[in-house]
Structure 1
Amino acid sequence: MGSATDVYAQLKEQLKSSKAEILFPSDGEKYEESIKRWSEHCEKRAACVVKISSADDASATVKFVKENKIPFVVRGGGHSTSGSASIEDGLVIDLSLMRGVTVNPEKKTVRAEGGALWVDVDEAAAQYGLATVGGTVNHTGVGGLTLGGGYGYLSGKYGLTIDNLLQVEIVLASGEQVIASETENPDLFWAIRGAGQNFGVVTAFTFRGYEQTNQVFAGPLIFLPDKLPQVVEFMNKFQTKNDGNQAFLLGFTCPPPAHAPVVLTQVFHNGTQEEGNAFFKDLIDLGPVANMTSMMPYEKLNAAMNEGQGFGGRKMFGGGAYKLPLAPPFVQALFDEFIGFSTTQPAMTDSILLFETIPYAKVVEVPNEKMAFSNRGEYYNLATMIKWANPALDDTVREFSRALLKKASQSAGVVQDEKVRSTEGVGVYGNYVNPDVPASEVYGGNAKKLAELKGKYDPENLFDRGTRLVPRPVVVVN
């Protein structure tokens, strides 16, 4: 077999008339930049990175890897900590050149190319007084968040990101370019919404937009640990007090510069400052050591938690779930355990355990069988985001996160046995788990249908880097 450059000469010839960039390790800084990921834990040295510029480029590249039996991955925003957007020695289909966003103010739709980040969508939509449901950090890729479900500040009012997805433009394993929507390839559209990583390269998303001309009240309130019981009591009240226009995040962390334990809250109200202060009055009256709430344009909201969330360092997400009300002693025990672990290493102190109290009433209006996504239930997402520096701690971090989240989820009233997963929400957010988690844990009763659709749209399991819907083929070496 020839060198990587020789092997990819055919692809370079096919893409020579496009604006695509093909990078190899010999390309120095441009290549090194292309394999960077939000977490260094996920960085791998690909043999080739193809920065596509169009759906035609994606189609040509998919056909090429299929014909030449080259393992590959697809990279959108590079924000995942599962490692599924990186590959050692194989090929990366990199969408980062495709960040265009087009808004149709009459139809109130927003079309984002496959490599767009949420900052691109938020800012483009805002020019027309519109917004759609995005994430809570705006340098996250649109593709990864959407294909896995998508919770955001507007979910309490409008549901998940996938509930507002009107169609996708996707390149299948055959190289064919198709549209998937409720009326075109509806079974594929069913699968895309929750398991999209397994079915192709999505080169564009079209979302429903909503009028969002008013500013919003939002920002962090930071408390010393002694206020944790009262903060938990407020969170319990939030369950019945909110009307879908609010969100409340509660986190445990040791932020710089002091790296001392704090109780971090992020509040959101889609309305005036007076309304926001009134809604969160009990919390504000507790006397936070820092009150950074203010009025801000919606498009600035998703940048509010960017600090400390930049690229670099080793990071890992983990996911669980909880129901309200929670007993303050139970939450205190989680605080003690998480802070105890995250202060064992200096690089870990900026880790966070996060209770994402985003109202679910609108989310559960859609049945779990309506689409592949299966995490709809009367509960909230619990997440860990652990940072560390020493590669020798990789397994230790993973095991701690899994054990803590499992214990917390079970103790917080979300049972995740097989019987419950087959009939109710699974209690696991797919964007927070690693691909080695069984499909039944992420998709519950939808796992069987997904496996069948995988056979229809990707019979050779070309797209095999997400949650495994079908077994990977066994390679027999003679």
Structure 2
Amino acid sequence: MFIFTLGGAPDMDALLRNRLVTTKAEVLVPADGERYEEAIGRWSEHCVKKAKCVVKVTCADEITKTLSFIRDHRLGFVVRGGGHSTSGSSSIANGIVIDLSLMRGVTVDPALKTIRVEGGALWSDVDTEAAKYNLATVGGTVNHTGVGGLTLGGGYGFLTGKYGLTIDNLLSVDIVLASGDQLTASETQNPDLFWAIRGAGQNFGVVTSFTFRGFDQPNPVYAGTLLFPLDKLPQVLAFINTFHASNDGNQAILWGVSCPPPAHAPLLLTHIFHNGTLEEGTAFFAPLLALEPLANFATMVPYPTLNSLLNHASGFEGRKQFAGSAFKLPLALPLVQTLIDRFLGFVTQFPDTKESLLLFETIPYKEVVKVSNDAMAFSNRGEYYNLAVMIKWKEAERDADVRKFARELVSGAGLAEGVVRQKDGEVNGTNAEGVEGVGMYGNYANTDIPASDIYGNNAKKLEELKQKYDPGNLFDRGTKLVAKPVVPMN
């Protein structure tokens, strides 16, 4: 692990610029004013840190040169893709940021139905370009998130019910290793590295491009948010509890509570999706529509628009903290009511947290569990759904209280029947192979939890692969994996 920073060596900026002088990379320092401030900005203000410099790279060779400089001078660094993480893993104080935001190219091969995406692209880039060829792939539910972060951690999206996770549709990556070597990883090239990247990629290098499988998506979809008063919870939950049996993979529903503007009063929201016609969508969600929502924003939209519908609830202003757990259906009303009451008890206590969100992400898992938990590093496949809490706030002095509450809310939920994650870390949800998933989505977790909580039985193999591909633990900003040599059998 490299622990030195640029702070003790005032000439390091000049040395780094000299190393990159023949390249198109841009090195930004605090003296560069607004351009520097924009470069260190993050989705959560909680994660903004004063980097010594930001290197905006444009290609793999520039990353190799930057990593060589980092190794030579034993410097602290991070990699920034979309800047959406609330764990702070893409920010660093007094160190180097390798910024991929200039690498946003998307290339579609309509004959092969593949989509090649550069490492700094956002999902809006992918959705827009793929739609030109009537294609789509499994991406995020908010389109200003980075492709890299979501993919390397797994990737759930509205198309998951039909095609599985984002990583299930990843065909190959180009990656720069800690050594500076540039490799392609796929099922046929460096397959052990490809295994590791799909779920733990942030621990192994800088991915400069992803190639995804594309799927035909020529038609618009039915989607949008329905808002209900809280007293409609029993009826809404009754519909949710039928979802597992009634969906065919073409539907999803994200539901929960928030206190949105302008009134900031508690509301029950259901964000519905159907990959089909208006008639099919309204028929499937008829029990909800019959409840006469306070507002109904569901309509037919082009697929690229789908992943922008929740952007207003996930803007870049303010501080944010994610925490996650998992749940099984059917859910008991008392359990859900208890979680909602605890959530609202916190956010209504502090005016600057009113736009926080407790979300039950009911995205079909039938395709997800067809893949074994040991098929790749990702180990969260089971007969359950993700539960997420996102706390939004403004006051820095509330940071510690928010983090504590978010963790306690989801861990406390694990003590109740119907929620997968239990107090002792065991889970009761299995995939089709009968292997237990960990019950924790890595993209919703903080980086200070044990690797086994995210990777389960895969943690040991990952540590052995770290020894092969990153023996010095250069990439140490994700969930901690320490390189361990393989001990030969006697």
> CA deviation digits over 1:119-178, x for unaligned, max 9?
000000000000000010000000000000000000000000000000000000000000
3-state SS in 2 of match to 1:308: helix
Look up the match of 2:184.
179
Matched, 1:143 2:148: yes
3-state SS in 2 of match to 1:376: coil
Q: Is the 8 A contact 1:37 1:79 kept in 2?
A: yes
Shift of 1:418: 5.0
Look up the match of 1:192.
197
Look up the match of 2:487.
none
Distance 1:348 1:127 in 2: 40
3-state SS in 1 of match to 2:78: strand
Shift of 1:4: 5.6
Distance 2:404 2:254 in 1: 24
3-state SS in 2 of match to 1:8: helix
3-state SS in 2 of match to 1:469: coil
- Identity, % of aligned pairs? 65
Look up the match of 1:476.
none
Distance 2:81 2:414 in 1: 30
Q: Is the 8 A contact 2:25 2:57 kept in 1?
A: yes
Shift of 1:67: 1.0
**Deviates further, 150-159 or 400-409:** 400-409
Ranges in structure 1 where 5+ consecutive residues have no aligned partner:
473-478
Q: Could you tell me which of 370, 374, 378 is aligned with 1:373?
A: 378
> CA deviation digits over 1:370-423, x for unaligned, max 9?
000000000000000101111121111111111110122342241444565995
3-state SS in 1 of match to 2:313: coil
Distance 1:286 1:160 in 2: 32
Shift of 1:253: 0.2
Shift of 1:35: 0.4
3-state SS in 1 of match to 2:326: strand
What TM-score does the superposition give when structure 1 sets the normalisation length?
0.97
Look up the match of 1:90.
95
Paired residues for 1:384-463 under 5 Å: 384-411=389-416, 412-416=418-422, 417-418=424-425, 420=427, 423-463=435-475
Look up the match of 1:303.
308
Q: Could you tell me which of 156, 169, 172 is aligned with 1:164?
A: 169
Shift of 1:18: 2.1
Give the root-mean-square deviation of aligned CA atoms: 1.5
Shift of 1:85: 0.2
Shift of 1:13: 2.1
Distance 2:334 2:271 in 1: 22
Q: 1:67 to 1:414 in 2, by over 3 A?
A: same
**Deviates further, 280-289 or 416-425:** 416-425
Matched, 1:274 2:286: no
3-state SS in 1 of match to 2:210: strand
Matched, 1:263 2:268: yes
Shift of 1:347: 1.2
Distance 2:45 2:448 in 1: 19
> CA deviation digits over 1:262-310, x for unaligned, max 9?
0011000000000000000001001100000000111110000001311
Distance 2:380 2:271 in 1: 23
Q: Could you tell me which of 44, 49, 52 is aligned with 1:44?
A: 49
Q: Is the 8 A contact 2:7 2:94 kept in 1?
A: no
- Partner amino acid for 1:387? K
Q: Could you tell me which of 12, 26, 42 is aligned with 1:7?
A: 12
**Deviates further, 30-39 or 463-472:** 463-472
Distance 1:350 1:362 in 2: 33
3-state SS in 1 of match to 2:414: helix
Distance 1:110 1:410 in 2: 42
3-state SS in 2 of match to 1:369: coil
> CA deviation digits over 1:406-451, x for unaligned, max 9?
1223422414445659951000000001100100000000000000
Look up the match of 2:32.
27
3-state SS in 2 of match to 1:248: strand
Q: How many residues were matched structurally?
A: 472
Distance 2:396 2:425 in 1: 34
3-state SS in 1 of match to 2:374: helix
Q: Could you tell me which of 332, 342, 348 is aligned with 1:337?
A: 342
Q: Is the 8 A contact 2:467 2:483 kept in 1?
A: no
Look up the match of 1:213.
218
Ranges in structure 2 where 5+ consecutive residues have no aligned partner:
1-5, 485-490
Q: Is the 8 A contact 2:471 2:483 kept in 1?
A: no
- Partner amino acid for 2:438? V
Q: Is the 8 A contact 1:37 1:312 kept in 2?
A: no
- Partner amino acid for 1:170? I
Distance 2:318 2:257 in 1: 19
Distance 2:463 2:427 in 1: 20
Matched, 1:238 2:248: no
- Partner amino acid for 1:6? D
Q: Could you tell me which of 351, 366, 373 is aligned with 1:346?
A: 351
Look up the match of 2:488.
none
Look up the match of 1:469.
481
Q: Is the 8 A contact 1:322 1:408 kept in 2?
A: no
**Deviates further, 225-234 or 329-338:** 329-338
Q: 1:415 to 1:384 in 2, by over 3 A?
A: closer
> CA deviation digits over 1:176-207, x for unaligned, max 9?
00000000000000000000000000000000
Distance 1:10 1:284 in 2: 63
Matched, 1:357 2:369: no
Look up the match of 1:475.
none
3-state SS in 2 of match to 1:361: coil
Q: Is the 8 A contact 1:247 1:357 kept in 2?
A: yes
Distance 1:127 1:471 in 2: 43
Distance 1:413 1:393 in 2: 28
Shift of 1:5: 5.8
Q: Is the 8 A contact 1:379 1:414 kept in 2?
A: yes
Q: Is the 8 A contact 1:133 1:158 kept in 2?
A: yes
Shift of 1:16: 2.1
Look up the match of 2:3.
none
Shift of 1:228: 0.7
> CA deviation digits over 1:6-26, x for unaligned, max 9?
213233123223221100111
Q: 1:282 to 1:463 in 2, by over 3 A?
A: same
Distance 1:117 1:226 in 2: 38
Q: Could you tell me which of 131, 137, 144 is aligned with 1:126?
A: 131
